[in-house]
Amino acid sequence: MIRLASAILLVIAAGILQNTDLLNIAGVKPNLSLAALIVLGFFINKFTDYLILILISALLIKTAAGFEISIIVFAAIPAIFYFLRRLLPWRASLNNLILIFAGTLLLYLLIDPAFISRGVGIFISEAAYNLILGAVLFWAGTYKKIW
């Protein structure tokens, strides 16, 4: 229960931070919510608990009234990766990084594919930013047993 509570706090903090410019570096903002959800997929054992985290995150990053396909895509990626994470053959720490990069790429391919070609440098910077934050969160979960 404490693990789930700390995971909920992380998702809330990530959602709030993502809606600010606090993590903006040179015009690049990480997708902290996506990275946090992918990391938490390695530590949350019950899929129903994980779905709660996805729902909270999706509600926090929703910026407009009404239906947004981008929110469905955002929620589907970590949900699918939750099951995929155990099928990858490498160490969990490497799988985490692979899934964070794949999640970042997939999100843009499904929502705005032209963004990648228009701003390759920004995409690479954001992906690197997501990977760094994801590695730190994974370390906190693995060695500090926070979630």
CATH number for the domain including 96? 1.10.1760
How confident is the prediction along the chain (147 residues), in pLDDT tens digits per residue? Answer: 778 999 999 999 999 999 999 999 999 999 999 999 999 999 999 999 999 999 999 999 987 777 789 999 999 999 999 999 989 999 999 999 999 999 999 999 999 999 999 999 999 999 999 999 999 999 999 988 877
Domain that holds residue 112: 2-143
Q: Which residues pair with 25 in a beta bridge?
A: 28
Total domains, the chain? 1
Residue 89, class by beta-carbon neighbours within 10 Å (0-12 exposed, 13-18 middle, 19+ buried)? exposed
CA distance 146 to 53: 15
* Interval 133-143: pLDDT, tens: 999 999 999 98
The pTM score is: 0.94
- Which residues have C-beta within 8 Å of that of residue 133, sequence separation ≥ 6? 30, 32, 35, 36
- Decide: 103 and 34 in contact? Cβ < 8 Å: yes
